[in-house]
Chain A
């Protein structure tokens, strides 16, 4: 059975989606159990696969049984790198599924089955992206997840959401098309679509590896993926799309889409082109690290200027993407930058999930869209506040949250590689996050104007115990679980980094000979 795990991971949510579409219209209550069961099966299969990978080695799976010659069929591959990402996708999707339960009678529940169909197909697409080992298959799965995400973003009833979704559609399609052009150029020079095969051809034929076409292929694939991950300045679609979409959609899209795109960039860099080839052009590394620095600073500064909570969080995502791209391109001798990036994929997914869940609760429970609406939050909803505070501290980078450790590894990589501008950008961004979040904590704790707090005493029980409006349980539990995950990922960073180093060893014929 373990050899069928890759197929199970990708296909179970798809079957779940078909079931929901067939049965959901009759009774909406059957949707959520189907969603939960299919995602749990996928998560379980991911655990199984991760265990197998870390004990025995990578799992290769050939669709249709077409193994030889390499490339006629489509290969799926689970190795140490994507086993971790699979676990992240599985966990985040289950937690958000809990958050998205609506009671019957709340507005916009008529399209619940369609929401869950798109949700499950999104998860299936993300799992598929993670384990794809064929360049064109990756494109198809990117389109599956993109199309479902367009649907999820546009489902809300806000006006600005529709316009944001349209921009998202256009930019997303242009990004995927750039990726396709890149794959076309690569196919023209190597004659195959299988990632392993392309890598071996590039390694054994130096003239192909040095040709213009391969360089342009890499450039276009990279730019296409950068559009998908909202790397500044290609991030125009992200703030509007994730701020004006329904909270449930934001909670599944924000933690996952950009991180999986970062993973795709890493996969292309490591498994298709190979790190030696990329970093043999040392000036690229310089250039990209500078771009990442700009991205980090831009994201942080824009975040500072926002009044709306979700928009602010979206710009923080832009900054985090900057961390990850910069870390991956640092090219320090012992690959701490790359380790930091991979660790940050996991950490950032947890942090973003926690913060967006909190933001979703604010909107649903308190109608709080702007930061100033959050006054007195700590008293009204202490548990929600706990979750939100942990998320905020992780963004700032306070130990023992995971945010501290990911910054630690990234800074270490930056120092090793001598890219001081990257280290400076990371520190500045931590400072800016601290300003941002402590401002929010102050408003939430003391209220906007502390002096007027006394006016509330006109109400009989205002000062001592303002009405407790705790978040509903189905929203609170995912929030607290993700907050706990932030702490656990931080506390166990040693073990996680061990596993990541194992993953990188598979790919490092590179490493130490590079300098």
Chain B
């Protein structure tokens, strides 16, 4: 049971966050608070996915062009250099320019151990999911504004009462 918690503590945290969000969506009365809950729920899912791709001692999935020429064995120092600082001088390794494609293939294949880089696929998926979440939030907020304009209140129970009152008058 302890390893269940210890090795998967990230999943525990994200599931708890998701449930906080979901609780707010169902239980809260105010429409904006429901939306906040929805946001929390979606964000927790995004964090969950990103944590699927984590590897121990890995760096971000951006290739560093300081990678030395093909034949040298996987260079340990290239694990520690943060790849986002842009030292992009050495685009072509020392193998010579006439073998461009060939040499670059070596840059790709030899200098990169898959275990040194985080899994890029969840990042890609979550970029999409974030955008989708923003779009949905925008539409929901527009609807909330419209509800306020028409009903004068943002509390769900009051809105339902006004609707029922309106129906009784029909």
A binding-site residues for B, Cβ under 8 Å: 136, 139-140, 143, 147, 150-151, 154, 159-160, 162-163, 165-166, 169-170, 173-174, 177, 180-181, 184, 187-188, 193
Contacts and interface: CB of A to CB of B under 8 A. Distances in A.
Given A166-B144, A187-B52, A174 B38 contact: yes
Contacts of A170: 25, 34-35, 38, 140
- Considering residues A136, A165, A177, which has the most beta carbons from chain B within 10 angstroms of its beta carbon? A177
B10 interface: no
B140 A181 contact: no
A166 B25 CA distance: 12
A140 B35 CA distance: 20
Contact of B31 (A139, A151, A166, A173): A166
A147 B147 contact: no
A136 B136 contact: no
Interface in B106-138: 121-122, 125, 128-129, 132, 135-136
Which 10 A-B pairs give the minimum distances between C-beta atoms?
A166-B143, A143-B132, A169-B140, A159-B150, A162-B146, A162-B147, A173-B136, A150-B139, A184-B49, A188-B52
A499 B45 CA distance: 40
Given A159-B166, A174-B22, A174-B41, 11 more contacts: A143-B132, A143-B136, A150-B139, A150-B143, A159-B151, A162-B146, A162-B150, A170-B35, A180-B45, A184-B49, A187-B122
B130 to A, nearest CB: 12
29 contacts: A136-B125, A136-B128, A139-B129, A140-B128, A140-B132, A143-B135, A147-B132, A147-B136, A147-B139, A150-B136, A150-B139, A154-B139, A154-B146, A160-B163, A165-B143, A166-B31, A169-B139, A169-B140, A169-B143, A170-B140, A174-B25, A174-B38, A174-B41, A177-B41, A180-B45, A180-B129, A184-B52, A187-B122, A188-B52
Given A162-B150, A169-B136, A181 B45 contact: yes
Contacts of A150: 136, 139, 143
B52 A173 contact: no
A68 B169 CA distance: 65
A163 B164 CA distance: 13
A177 B159 CA distance: 26
Contacts of A147: 132, 135-136, 139
B42 A162 contact: no
Contacts of B122: 187
A193 B119 CA distance: 14
Contacts of A188: 52
Nearest to B31: A166
Interface of B: 18, 22, 25, 31, 34-35, 38, 41-42, 45, 48-49, 52, 121-122, 125, 128-129, 132, 135-136, 139-140, 143-144, 146-147, 150-151, 159-160, 163, 166
A150 B122 CA distance: 27
Nearest to B137: A173
Contact of A177 (B45, B52, B143, B166): B45
A359 B9 CA distance: 54
Contacts of B163: 159-160, 163
Contacts of A151: 139
Given A169-B136, A170-B34, A163 B41 contact: no
Contacts of B140: 166, 169-170, 173
Contact of A184 (B22, B41, B48): B48
A169 B39 CA distance: 13
A180 B150 CA distance: 34
A173 B48 contact: no
Contacts of A180: 45, 129
A457 B86 CA distance: 90
A133 to B, nearest CB: 16
Contacts of B132: 140, 143, 147
Contacts of A166: 31, 140, 143-144, 147
A169 B137 CA distance: 9
Contacts of B135: 143, 147
A46 to B, nearest CB: 27
Contacts of B48: 181, 184
Nearest to A144: B132
Nearest to B119: A191
A149 B154 CA distance: 23
Contacts of A173: 38, 42, 136, 140
Given A147-B136, A169-B140, A177 B49 contact: no
Contacts of A162: 143, 146-147, 150
A373 B154 CA distance: 34
A163 B147 contact: yes
Contacts of B129: 139, 180
Contacts of A184: 45, 48-49, 52
Contacts of B18: 181
A159 B165 CA distance: 13
B156 to A, nearest CB: 9
Contacts of B49: 184
A188 B125 CA distance: 13
B51 to A, nearest CB: 10
Contacts of B159: 163
Nearest to A240: B163
Nearest to A169: B140
A117 to B, nearest CB: 14
B37 to A, nearest CB: 9
A158 to B, nearest CB: 9
Contacts of A163: 147, 151, 159-160, 163
Contacts of A193: 121
Nearest to B133: A173
Contacts of B125: 136
A166 B41 CA distance: 17
Nearest to B149: A162
A150 B146 CA distance: 14
Contacts of A165: 143
